[in-house]
Amino acid sequence: MKAYRGALLRFDDQHQPVYDSDGLLVIGPDAQGERQLVHAAGAYDALAGRFPDVAVEDVRGQLIAPGFVDLHVHYPQTDVIGAPAPGLLPWLENYTYPHESRFADKAYARSVADFFFDELMRHGVTTALTFATSHPASVDAAFEAAQARGLRFITGKVLQDRHSPDGVRDDTQQSLADTEALIRRWHGVGRLGYAITPRFAPTSTEAQLRGAGEIAARHPDVWIQSHVAENRDEIRWAMELFPGARSYLGVYDDVGLLRERAIYAHCIHLDGEDRQLMARSGAAAAVSPTSNLFLGSGFFDYVQADDHGMRYGLASDVGGGTSFSPFHTMLAAYYVGREGQTKTGLSLTPSRLWWQHTAGAARALGLEGVIGNLQPGCEADFVVLDPQATPLLARKTAQADSLDELLFALIVLGDDRVVRRCVVDGRTA
């Protein structure tokens, strides 16, 4: 066992922050000796006596917090970040597809995956639900790279059998067979999980979507990930292709792709019935604010989502998103929440933003109590953050009179310089 003494942040069952300015986090192996878990977390004075023989590392002055969970990101788009394009569809055609076609080459895919994971950990992200490309080799490469680092990680082969150029378009039957084979090879191996991954409704035939839904029904603990209702052109296109569907989201519902463990990126232009359907099915939204602002797609409606009881969490959506940094994503989510011209604007509290990128994202994945938190029993993935990482942060956080003021200073002014340490499965990365 090992312990860390410092300021300590975690969340309770009501999603409220629990903060100890002088806290103790005790980690150690699980009963099988396979994984490092949190054994105790709380105030130093209350806990220290229970663990007299455990070595304590002193990180006072720094904040121990749950590792961040990125609910939607594309590792093959690491090099697409910051590509100039007038909106989503030209961005896909001119930058994303040509780039993704290179991932048929497993060695190339592995080199990008290695960079991607190192970058995530540098930013304090310890779990990501990630798109691969349509090439099975891109999935093997990512899982092998995650396994080498001990990360809890979820990805899947992209399904796209139409309206996609040569090099990324797949074959309907082969794509479904590949998905089944990849589930058998990787799902539940150590900390790895598989996600059935239709890119989005317009690039799949109905046969491919139905096949994906059948696989999802056979494997209820496998994840599902896709995109929905990101921008108006895309929605128009989806409705032309699926004229019988009630809505764009309804296309996925019709084929059995809405259920627990299904994560849909964006969910911006939904109506009340769609939001009810999201809530009822247990599917969750991956709110991707830097991407939505970058591509001018629109603003996620937090008030409507909460009114309908939708689950959601935060996501970088790189390469549509502009940063791997959870701080940048949380700040962009604040901007999106504030926007009050197209929907009701609100001020998301700093601890609420933080929850959305940790325990809330874990809950959306069905991994509540497993990752994204530091309560006893959670896996030992966490970050040690330096509130004095820059002169301005040091000045600002020294004046913080409350947890929310401390967290908001980090959200507004923080970046990778704040992340002093990223601990994955109890080991410093």
Q: Which is nearer to Zn ion, 364 or 407 (CB)?
A: 364
Cβ-based neighbours of 238, under 8 Å, separated by 6 or more: 200, 201, 202, 245, 248, 251
180: exposed, middle or buried (Cβ count in 10 Å: 0-12, 13-18, 19+): middle
**At closest approach, how far in Å is the CB of 264 from Zn ion?**
10
State the residue for tokens 């076609």.
101
**At closest approach, how far in Å is the CB of 382 from Zn ion?**
27
Q: Which is nearer to Zn ion, 199 or 421 (CB)?
A: 199
Stretch that binds Zn ion, among 31-39, 185-193, 313-321, 404-412 (CB under 5 A): 313-321
C-alpha span between 102 and 108 (Å, rounded): 7
70 near Zn ion, rule: CB under 5 A: no
**At closest approach, how far in Å is the CB of 56 from Zn ion?**
42
**At closest approach, how far in Å is the CB of 70 from Zn ion?**
11
C-alpha span between 28 and 278 (Å, rounded): 38
Q: Which is nearer to Zn ion, 265 or 403 (CB)?
A: 265
Residue 129's φ and ψ, nearest 5 degrees, are -90, 115
C-alpha span between 266 and 252 (Å, rounded): 14
Q: Which is nearer to Zn ion, 160 or 397 (CB)?
A: 160
8 Å CB contact between 66 and 381: yes
**At closest approach, how far in Å is the CB of 6 from Zn ion?**
35
Q: Which is nearer to Zn ion, 170 or 317 (CB)?
A: 317
Q: Which is nearer to Zn ion, 265 or 305 (CB)?
A: 265
Number of residues in contact with Zn ion, rule: CB under 5 A? 2
E-state strands within 199-346 = 223-228, 262-266, 284-287, 311-314
Q: Which is nearer to Zn ion, 24 or 109 (CB)?
A: 109
DSSP collapsed to 3 states, 114-177:
HHHHHHHHHCCEEEEEEECCCCHHHHHHHHHHHHHHCCCEEEECEECCCCCCCCCCCCHHHHHH
Q: Which residues, 216 to 275, sit near Zn ion by CB under 5 A?
A: 265
Identified binder of Zn ion from the candidate list 70, 301, 317, 379, rule CB under 5 A: 317
**At closest approach, how far in Å is the CB of 315 from Zn ion?**
8
C-alpha span between 348 and 357 (Å, rounded): 13
The 8-class DSSP code of residue 379 comes to B
Q: Taking the mean position of all CA atoms in its chain, how far away is CA 306?
A: 19
Stretch that binds Zn ion, among 39-47, 200-208, 317-325, 409-417 (CB under 5 A): 317-325
C-alpha span between 136 and 31 (Å, rounded): 35
Stretch that binds Zn ion, among 146-154, 161-169, 312-320, 360-368 (CB under 5 A): 312-320
Which of 193, 365, 196, 199 minimizes the C-alpha distance to 282?
Answer: 365
Q: Which is nearer to Zn ion, 86 or 188 (CB)?
A: 86
**At closest approach, how far in Å is the CB of 286 from Zn ion?**
8
**At closest approach, how far in Å is the CB of 291 from Zn ion?**
7
Q: Which is nearer to Zn ion, 265 or 310 (CB)?
A: 265
Stretch that binds Zn ion, among 57-65, 78-86, 132-140, 309-317 (CB under 5 A): 309-317
**At closest approach, how far in Å is the CB of 266 from Zn ion?**
8
8 Å CB contact between 372 and 358: yes
Helix axis angle for 326-338 and 403-413, nearest 10°, is: 100
Q: Which residues bind Zn ion (CB under 5 A)?
A: 265, 317
